[in-house]
Chains A and B, each alone.
Chain A
Amino acid sequence: MSAPLLSTDSLVKRFGGLAATDGLSLSVAEGELHALIGPNGAGKTTLIGQLSGELTPDSGTILFDGRDVTRLPVHKRAQRGLARSFQITSIFPSFTALDNVALAVQAHAGHSFRFWRDAGRDRRLADPARAVLERVGLGARADTRADALAHGEKRQLELAMALATGPRLLLLDEPMAGMGPEDSARMVELLQELKGGVTILLVEHDMDAVFALADRITVLVRGKDLASGPPEQIRNDPAVREAYLGDELEVA
């Protein structure tokens, strides 16, 4: 097996006495959809924070694409192809949907010390942005201000922005958070389409979605890797059932 695209080695992050990440070693292979699940407080958000660069681990290392990125700032990781979506929708409210995505395209279209040309008329930004909007099903809402979009649409936009950076790895932090069943189903469908084309690390509470999508699942409990493996194995792992899944899995 080739080297993983993303891996952590003995990662530790403490907040006071609490080890939110407790010696975690995780690896995400190129091309897979790797789901990260765990009860509330298991340290999923803290882990995402460290992977994206917003938090610095107390010890341990993070390798991305064969290079140590543990101390690299957020924007440099993003430039190397590590894109993320946010659990709480994080968009540009005063920009249109199209301009939100165009801003993501622009981030990876060379430097932005360009002071003269009207970026709103720049097809090198607008065309790819529109294509990504179409792909996530927001084509018809391109010219709507982002703060006027419905919640589900904002979640789609959130994903579109991450996608538009042409990432090697997508860190998706609960993309279905707050979505109704219809929107969730659309999102699952969309992730199904993306799968294989781009490596995805998916943090999600929706177990149906996770078990439908994931190639591998890691169960995080109290900052530790309780179990890792293909969905079937996780489903039948007695420790997982006991520690976390319980009745939820019976339904799944």
Chain B
Amino acid sequence: MPPTAPRTAHLTRPRIALLILLAVALALPTVADWMGEPFYVRLATRILVFALAAVSLDLILGFGGMVSFGHAAFVGIGGYAVGILFAHQSDGSTLFGLPGTVNGLIVWPLAMLAGALAALPVGAISLRTTGVPFIMITLAFAQMLFYLMTGLKAYGGDDGIALWSRSTLPAPLNIADHTTFYYVVLGLLVAALALGWRLVNSRFGRVIRGAKDNERRMAALGYPVTRYKLVAFVIAGALAGLAGALLANATMFVGPQYLHWSRSGDLIVMVVLGGIGTLIGPVLGAAALLLLEEFVPELMDLAHAGLGEHWKIVLGPVLILLVLYARKGLWGVVAGRRP
């Protein structure tokens, strides 16, 4: 009888790639400072925030086969949790008899809770279907929430809420400082990746992956599949909520556009671009999409004024090429074929 395959602790190509990525992420603020381009730190922070949202989507899309086209709604709701509590704090009013707050240790967990609580009914209903109907129902729910936020006149309606200050964290973490905030976001992303990694390899993760492979067989084996998928959906909602809280802090703003379906589409693009079902891939996908969005229009405008707004003409072919030639996306290209 063959022994279980020994787990190699060698520096395999994916491990080297991970180490390099981590090194780049850690060194980035120093390098940006040295280059005299502090703006890069804020851009990188945005990338990490969207990476967190994309990773949370990959948990259900990549591992559970749940193509949610409304994931940005949970990001937006997390952002609103921060924004609404900020608004109450700034004008001294109360919400359900409680004062507002900007304490990150309170509002960030609340943002996660809000994301999870929103994901619960959406998932419970959407997961009664699969395939295209699932995509459409999650999209419909997200648009409902989008219009709900548009109609929230007390919280800015269409205009959203401008934040004058970031959440506060216990000393010595002063995230009003861009570099400190960057490292806090990086830490949370790494923690989320580690959690996600444990999750997909746990018994729970196996059920989710099994359901993606063959849901009918899972039921025949005795698994109440929908229950497990729903829990995964809620966990992803909570992580998206956290990403929303961080996004509000990164941009100092929350608005309905965070929940718009095109944002959900962006998240799917990040996952596909980076590598479905790889966890780390969506981080690369987020970086690629946001960097393209940042620099391609500028370059195109240089070539011909006004051309920049059509930058997606570049994104389209890039996506098609990746889908055709790199089935595990950018991470597949970086890490090589894994056995």
Residues of A within 8 A of B (CB): 52, 54, 73-76, 78-79, 83-84, 86, 90-95, 99, 102-104, 106-108, 112-120, 122, 125-126, 130, 134, 139-140, 142-143, 161, 165
Contacts and interface: CB of A to CB of B under 8 A. Distances in A.
A107 B203 contact: no
Nearest to B224: A75
B316 interface: no
Interface string B1-43: 1101100000000000000000000000000000000000000
Contacts of A140: 2
B223 A107 contact: yes
B210, B216, B219, B222: most-surrounded residue (chain A CB, <10 A): B222
B225 interface: yes
22 contacts: A52-B220, A74-B220, A75-B218, A75-B219, A75-B222, A78-B220, A90-B214, A91-B214, A93-B214, A95-B210, A99-B206, A103-B207, A103-B218, A107-B221, A108-B222, A114-B204, A115-B205, A116-B198, A117-B203, A142-B2, A143-B5, A165-B222
B169 to A, nearest CB: 26
B309 interface: no
Nearest to B226: A75
A50 to B, nearest CB: 14
B209 to A, nearest CB: 8
Nearest to B202: A115
B217 interface: yes
Interface in B204-253: 204-207, 209-210, 213-214, 216-225, 228, 231
A113 B230 CA distance: 12
Contacts of B213: 92-95
Given A74-B219, A161-B217, 19 more contacts: A75-B220, A75-B224, A76-B222, A78-B220, A78-B221, A83-B220, A86-B220, A90-B220, A91-B214, A92-B210, A92-B217, A93-B214, A106-B207, A112-B203, A118-B201, A119-B206, A134-B1, A140-B2, A165-B221
Contacts of A107: 218, 221-223
A78 B222 contact: yes
A83 B223 CA distance: 12
B281 to A, nearest CB: 16
Given A90-B216, A134-B1, A75 B223 contact: yes
B199 interface: yes
Given A75-B219, A75-B222, A104-B221, A114 B203 contact: yes
Interface residues of B, number: 29
B206 A79 contact: no
B205 A119 contact: yes
B198 A115 contact: yes
Interface of B: 1-2, 4-5, 198-199, 201-207, 209-210, 213-214, 216-225, 228, 231
B206 A106 contact: yes
Nearest to B1: A139
Contacts of B219: 73-75, 78
Going nearest first, the 9 A-B pairs with the smallest beta carbon separation are A78-B222, A107-B221, A92-B213, A74-B219, A107-B222, A114-B203, A112-B203, A79-B222, A119-B203
Interface centre among B1, B199, B216, B231, by most chain A C-beta atoms within 10 angstroms, is: B1
Contact of B231 (A54, A108, A113): A113
Given A92-B214, A95-B210, A161 B221 contact: yes
Contacts of B216: 54, 90
A112 B1 contact: no
B143 to A, nearest CB: 31
B217 A86 contact: yes
Given A74-B219, A91-B214, A126 B204 contact: no
Nearest to B204: A115
Contacts of B204: 112-115
Contact of A75 (B4, B198, B225): B225
A118 B202 contact: yes
A114 B202 contact: yes
A106 B203 contact: yes
Contact of B221 (A93, A103, A119, A125): A103
A165 B222 CA distance: 9
A159 B1 CA distance: 20
A105 to B, nearest CB: 9
A95 to B, nearest CB: 7
Contacts of A86: 217, 220
Contacts of B225: 75
B236 to A, nearest CB: 13
A175 to B, nearest CB: 15
A112 B228 contact: yes
Given A90-B216, A92-B214, A93-B213, A112 B4 contact: no
Nearest to A125: B203
A129 B122 CA distance: 36
A120 B222 contact: no
B203 A91 contact: no
A139 B202 CA distance: 24
A83 B220 CA distance: 7
A84 B201 contact: no
A143 B203 contact: no
Contact of A84 (B206, B220, B223): B220
